[in-house]
Every structure is written in structure tokens, then in C-alpha cells.
Structure 1
Amino acid sequence: MADSDEIKTARRALGRRLAQLRKAAGHTQHGFARLVQYGRSSVANTETGHQHPDRAFWSCCDTVLQTGGVLAAEYDRIAELDRRRRRLSAIQGTTPTSRPVAPTHTSPDAPGADGGSVLWEREDSIDARRLALKSATDDDARLAYLENEVRRAIADNECLTPAVLMARLRPLRVYVDQLMAGRQHPPQRARLYTAAAHLSGLLGALALDLRAFRVAHAYAAEAFDLADAAEQPDVQAWARATQSLIAFYTGDYHDALAYAQDGLRRASASPHRLRLTINGQARALARLGDRYGVDRAVDRAFTMLSDHPSGSEVSASLTLGPYCPARTAANAATAYLALGSTAGVTDHLTTAITAFDAAALAGPRALCRLDLATAHLHADDPDPEQAATLAVEALTLTAQQRFESVHQRARQFLAAAQPFARHPRLRHVADMLADRTQVDATTPSALPSPS
């Protein structure tokens, strides 16, 4: 029985996807064949669509390439498509490549049996539509898998290194493209675009940590476009918050503020209003020197906290829900420090550090320690020794992870430490940061050498 054009196209696309993933993982066909325990010719023919191995092959490929099961899932989709095609052919009394078999007699119920015009559809047409409608359960399973993977990745964002998480998500982004090339019911399409928006936003944040700033902006813009296409204001607000974050750490403070304000306009009663206000508005306004605006934004943020349960759990940095008290306090402290104000900062940071230490989140723990170290330098009675100790702790906590936010905050701390440049512990902080960021030998140290 010949394959339909749709199935042939799908199988060729699956083969091409295998080739892309194999090459991205650095495997030759020969080396990959040994890993999956199939012949090299089988791998080559599968990648060109000339051979159609069973599910065990695709499952093995998923294991070797660490794709999370996307290849086997696509094999299942194609297999189900083939089964539906065969069932429909049986219903219609045809082979997939032949014309319908003419009936041997005319039923009194058949359309046009009385010689008049057709008043209703054939039963096989109705059955075909029913089969297509039932296929939505397959799409639901794929969408649930995608949504779960995105939520898990957002939760892992501050636990895994950006490079590791980026490698895990790249195949998932390819999977999203495949789903988008298909057909879903409108509610499923909205779910797909929502998950795709969250995935692109997360990839943007990871690109930021890897200092791929232009790529970060591109991913974040894509996240908003997807949310806009889905006509989901809550997702639009989340994407704007992510764009604001990336603009902030690339020094585009006016853009960071504009994205936050547009997100608030779209957010209505969304829980993202809290993140947009404290992480977006307050910090950008502080960098622009607007003390009054910062005061108002911080007050609004802490008022919003009362609208959400204040459980002890720390929210994710790219949370799909509201910011927690710890993140709100930490961002308020960062904003006031940027204005050169230390009033209340220590209390905010003590609250945040306690929560982040309990959650064992290295990035937030380091950022809060660097802010507290800066506060010690700005105090009426500066304590450079304690400040240096906190900065060393911060860089030690994140020694195995690359966070652009931590590196920028460390550089800001060292800029504030200029009056204490001769202090040996502060020199040690500067050396640690230089080692961490692999600064070029020609780049001057963050602190001048003592004369």
C-alpha cells in the first residue's frame, strides 16, 4: 500500500530533523550508528527518508541525543496519521491510491436517490471529520508535554548552567516549529503559541547570561510576537517583563522602562504586574535617576504583594505567576542602591538572603550579597572588609555558573569600592572577577593598582 504524500513528507522531515540533531551533537553517521546499534547505511537512509525504522530506533536516538523523547513522539504522530488514513480508506471502500468503489445498488437513503438534488452529505464524509476531530487528543498530549517541559525549564533556570539548559532547550524549539507547521484547533493553537512564547523568552534570558546580547533581544522580541499572535494579554505582559529584563542588563534603561510600562498596560489584573513594577519599572527608573518614580513603584509593588498568597516558596526569576516577597525586597534594594540610598536596604536584603539561602539559589544569593556589600561601602561608617567578604562569598557561590547579572553587579560593586582600592581583600575580589569573566589581558583591572 503506497504512502500518502503527507506521510512521505512527514517521514522525510523526521529524517532531516534526526540529521540536524545528530550534527548539532557532533556525531558522524558512522559514530552515531555505533551508539544506536544500527548500521551506518540505516542511519543514512533514514535521514534521507528512504528507510522507515520502527519506534525502537527513534527511542534509542532520543536517548543518545537527550532530546526528551521528541523524535519518538513525532514517529508516533506519523504512525497514527498512517493508521487514520488506512481506517478512512476502509470506511470509503478504497485503497489509498485508487478511486472510490462504485456502489452496486442505490439505497433509498442515498443522496439523490429520488433523482433530485443532494440534500445531505455522505456518511463517510461525516466519519472522516469525526476521525480528524478525535486526533485532537494527540495534539493535547503533545501540547501537555511541551508545556510541562517549558515549566520545568523555567524552574531549572537558576539551578543549571545557562549553557546546559540552552542545549536542552534547542531541540525543544525545533519541536515547536514542527508543531506550528501542523494544524490544531483554535484553543490548541493558542496553547501552542503561549508555550512557544515562554520558551523563546527563556532562551532570551539564557542568551543574556551567555553574553549573546543581540540573540537575547531577538528571542525576547519573538516571545512577545508569539504572545501577541496568540492574543493572550497575560502572556504579552510576561514577554514584556522579559524584554525589560534584557534591556536593563544591556544598559538600555529607557527601553527597559518602556517595555515595563507597556507590559503594565496589557497586564490588567495579571500577577505579572508585580514583576513589571519592581523588576522593570523601579530598577530602570533608579538607573535614570528618578527617586520619586522609584518610591512610587516600590510602594505599589509591596501593596500588590498583599493581593497574592505570601507562602515561603521562592518564585522563579521568570515566574509564570507573581513575584514572591523575597524577590520583591531584593529588587527594591537594588533600585535604592542605584540611587545611592541605603535607607531600609539592609532590612530588604536580610529578608531576601534568608529566603534565597533556604532555596539554595546561587544567582539570587550572590546578587543579594553583592548589594549588601555595596551598602556596607555606602554606610556612614564604611566597612570595606565586610564588603569584600560578602563579595568573595557571592563570586564563590556562582563559581560554577555563568550569570551576566552577577558579573555586572560585581563590576558595579568594584566601581563603588574605588575609594578603598588599596584594600587587599578588594583587590582579591577584582582578581576573582577577572578570572571568572576571562577578561582580555589588555583590559584594565576594575580597580586601579595602588601607586
Structure 2
Amino acid sequence: MADSDEIKTARRALGRRLAQLRKAAGHTQHGFSRLVQYGRSTVANTETGHQHPDRAFWSRCDTVLQTGGALAAEYDHIADLGRRRRLSAIQGTTPRSRPAAPTHTSPDAPGADGGFVLWELEESIDARRMTLKSATDDDARLAYLEHEVRQAITDNERLTPTVLMARMRPLRAYVDQLMAGRQHPPQRARLYTAAAHLSGILSALALDLRAFRVAHAYAAEAFDLADAAEQPDVQAWARATQSLIAFYTGDYHDALAYAQDGLRRASASPHRLRLTINGEARALARLGDHYGVDRAVDRAFTMLPGQPPGGPVSASLALGPYCPVRTAANTATAYLALGRTAGVTDHLTTAITAFDAAALAGPRALSRLDLATAHLHTDNPDPEQAATLAAEALTLTADQRFESVHQRARQFLASAQPFARHPQLRHVADMLADRTQLDATTPPALPSPP
């Protein structure tokens, strides 16, 4: 049975409505077709009324355009009209036109035949029910995203930044796709939390790849997402990440400000330890505040009794507690920046043992560079042992090329200026120059001996 003129007109009107909503949302037909996962020709033909896709198409359009199910509801109305016409043909009666299913039930809502509509169409009720049931799919997607984020945090100091960045970039596009959907409030909060963690990871990777402005942008986005999710714990984590980026880009006042703001938000969060020792103490050390560093270190070690001393080494971007080993290593870094070596060797020896056992290239290199610097600041400096440790550090991270390691190596070489004639220190300077591909106009890290 051929479609009636009324049904054809309704389908063309629905197609025009789709085109209007798509354009208002700023989508091209090609871009929109990718979002709804149908061909561009399907979108184009539907908008002109030449193609009549099934309900799944309209549901996807509602999701992308956030219409609240309006398009699928109109599709249901047209489908119902077609069913009633077919039934009328069988019964030999003439069906009357019927308006779209009302969005609420009321005895005062007149029907097309002058009667009253006391209930909605069954299809509309089923459509709402399916929207609720889609939460199961959303849970699966969110669980996948959260797993990938946790795995990336674990891999951050094990894989090269380039490899991990390539793995994370498609996830960022996936997050945007999910954000175009309509999740229930608890799922929406989970989505924003995972997105915040993802942007924080990307900021750390951008830092290691020396894309400093991109690193700052990702870190700021991480905090904005955490703020939108209204999750103080995630806000504290994002502030710790912003502090890390600011520290390695030389913005020590910003690094301190972000750490202190994170502490205000953290309350009883496990991120307080990381914010205190990795953020506050190291920034204060670079600003020359001896008293502030002592207070921060004391607070950090006061927080440690709740942490198992023999537990695993936490990740640098840990979503949970910061471990005692990293606390000791960051304490050493802060005190070395102030030129103080008392107790530093013990902290670093413990840290190196743990980092070696965990096979974490970045921390293994950074702790060796700090220990190398400590060997230069003792009453009996040992430049040969210092050079050996520095060379080990650069060898350990030959593939990763972490920016943090490069910076710490430059700081070590600056401390080694009084021993510039030592051949092994010259070798370390050459290794760093090869690694960072220093511009020919940049002066060497150590002056050439006369």
C-alpha cells in the first residue's frame, strides 16, 4: 500500500526539522553522519524526505542533537499513523488524523476526534524505557574509559611519551563523543571525572615532549572538567598536576599557588601528600624559602604513618595515596635546591632501591641525578662518582627522553661547574647535548677547559 500524502508530508517535515537542528548545532552533513554512525547519503536523503530510516537513526540524532527524544517521538507518530491506515484498509474504514503523542497525560487534552487522550502511545513509553535501559551501555563505556585512564597512569613512566600520547589522543575524541550524549547525573559525573584525568595525563605527556603551552592548556582543562564535575578530590588531583607543569616550566609562584589551592580543596583527600611534598615543598625550595620547606616536609611526613612502608611505588600521577618512597625522593629534591645535603643521601639510597625494583625509568634517573648532585656538595666532593650516576641516569632514559630528566641533568651540570676539567663530567655534558639536540648557538652546559 502506497504511503498517503499525509504521511509523505509528515516525513518531509521531519526531515526538514532534522536539517534545521543539525545546522543550528553547527554540524555539516558529513560530520553529523559520523556522529550518528550512518552514511552521509542517508542523512542527506532523509533531510529531503527521499529516505525513511528506522527508529534507531532518529534516536541517534536525538542523542547527538540533545533534543530530549523529540525526533524519535515524531517518528513514532508517523509510524503509528501508518499502522492505523493499514488497519483501516483491512477493516474498510477511514482513519482520522491524530496528533503526535502528548508529552503528558491529561483528561483535558482533546483528541483529533473530539474525544480525550488519557494516555500516551505505547511506543513513546517504550522509547523512554529504552533510554533508561541505555544506562547499561553507558556504564560499559565509562568502565572502559576509566580502565584506560588507570592503565595510562600506570604506564606513564614505563612507556615513551610519544607512544603513550598516540594511545591517549583517540581517547580524547572518544570522550567528546560521549559528552554529546545524555547520561544520567551519576554517569555524567563519572564521565567528567574520567575526562579530567585524561586531560591531566595528556598535560604530563605534552610536558615531556616539550610542548609547554599545550601542557598548560591540558592541565587547565583537567581542572575545569573536575570543577564542572563538582568533585573536590578530582579538583585536588588536577591542581597537583597543574603545579607539576608550572614547576617544570619555571613558574614556581604558580606551582606554589596551584598546590596551596589544591590543599584547600583536598580536605581529607589522599592527594594532600602529593600536593604538599611534590607541589608545595619543591616550589618553596626554588623560591628560597627554607622555613616554608621545613614546614611542608614536616607536614608530609606526619601524613605518612597511614601509608604502608613496604607497599608498592605509587604512580607519579597517582589517583590514590602518594607512597613513602616518592615522599622521600621529593624531600631530597627540595633540600638539594636549597643547597642542603644533610640526610639527603639516605633518602635517595632508599628511593633508588625501590625505583630500580619497580623498573620506573624516570624516577630511577631523577633520583640518581639528585644523588650525583649530593656527591658534589659534601665536604669531600666526589665528581667521579657523581659523573657515573649522571651517566647512568641518561642511559636509563635514552629512549624516553623525559623533559624532567633533561632539566635535572642541566641542574646537575650547573652544580658541577667547579669540576669542569673532569673528563667524565665532560662526557655527561656531551651525552646531554646529544640527547636534547642543543642549538649550535647555545653555550655548552660546562665550559671548555682552557
By the TM > 0.5 criterion, same fold? yes
Post-superposition offset of 1:402: 1.6
Normalising by structure 2, we get a TM-score of: 0.77
CA offset digits 1:156-209 (Å, max 9, x no partner): 000110011001111110000111111111111000000000000000000000
How far apart are 1:443 and its partner, in Å? 1.4
SS in 1 for 2:322: coil
Distance 1:306 1:101, change over 3 A: closer
Q: Contact (CA 8 Å) 1:367, 1:394: kept in 2 or not?
A: yes
Higher deviation after alignment, 354-363 or 108-117: 108-117
- Asked if structure 2 preserves the Cα contact closer than 8 Å seen for 1:111 and 1:120, the reply is no
**1:343 Cα deviation from its structure 2 partner:** 0.5
Gaps of 5+ in 2: none
Instruction: Provide TM-score, normalisation by structure 1.
Output: 0.77
Residues 426 and 79 of structure 1: CA distance in aligned 2, closer, same or farther (over 3 Å): farther
**TM superposition shift of 1:310:** 3.4
Distance apart, 1:261 and its partner CA: 0.1
Tell me how far apart the structure 1 counterparts of residues 20 and 157 of structure 2 sit (CA, whole Å): 28
Task: Check conservation: 2:102, 2:120, Cα contact below 8 A.
Answer: no
CA contact (8 A) 1:77 1:138 kept: no
Hey, what's the Cα distance between the residues in 2 that align with 1:193 and 1:246?
21
Partner deviation per Cα, 1:57-85 (whole Å, 9 max, x = no partner): 9999999999999999999999999xx99
Deviation at 1:125, TM superposition (A): 3.7
Counterparts of 1:116 and 1:63, CA distance in 2 = 34
1:19 aligns with 2:19: yes
User: What is the percentage of aligned positions where both structures have the same residue?
Assistant: 90
CA distance, structure 1, for counterparts of residue 367 and residue 68 of structure 2: 35
Unmatched 5+ residue regions in structure 1?
none
Distance 1:331 1:35, change over 3 A: same
SS at match of 1:184: coil
Q: Distance in 2 between matches of 1:238 and 1:26?
A: 34
Q: Secondary structure at the match of 2:333?
A: helix
Contact kept? 1:272, 1:322, Cα under 8 Å: yes
User: How far off its partner does 1:324 sit?
Assistant: 0.6
Task: Summarize deviations over 1:213-269 as a string: whole Å, max 9, x none.
Answer: 000000000000000000000000000000000000000000000000000000000
Instruction: Name the larger-Rg structure.
Output: 2
Query: Do the aligned partners of residues 118 and 101 (structure 1) sit closer, same or farther apart at CA in structure 2, a change above 3 Å counting?
Result: closer
Q: Which stretches of structure 1, 4 residues or longer, exceed 4 Å deviation after superposition? A: 1-81, 84-124
> Is the CA contact 1:310–1:325 (under 8 Å) kept in the aligned structure 2?
yes
* Kept after mapping to 2: 8 A contact 1:201/1:223: yes
Kept after mapping to 2: 8 A contact 1:264/1:273:
yes
Aligned CA distance change for structure 1 residues 226 and 61 (closer, same or farther; 3 Å):
closer
CA contact (8 A) 2:282 2:330 kept: yes
> 1:432 and 1:69 mapped to 2: Cα distance?
62
User: How many residue pairs are counted as aligned between the two chains?
Assistant: 449
Q: Does the 8 A contact of 2:35 with 2:177 survive in 1? A: no
* CA deviation after TM superposition for structure 1 residue 55, in Å: 19
- How far off is 1:303 after superposition? 1.1
Distance 1:240 1:102 in 2: 49
* Superposed displacement of residue 90, structure 1: 19
Deviation at 1:101, TM superposition (A): 10
Shift in alpha-carbon separation, 1:351–1:60, aligned structure 2, 3 A? farther
Report the aligned-residue RMSD. 8.8
- Relative distance call for 1:23 and 1:369 in structure 2 (3 A) is farther
Change (3 A) 1:347 1:203: same
Distance of aligned partners of 1:437 and 1:358 in 2 relative to their CA distance in 1, 3 Å threshold: same
d(CA) in 2 for partners of 1:321 and 1:57?
Answer: 42
Change (3 A) 1:301 1:77: farther
The offset of 1:118, in angstroms, is 5.8
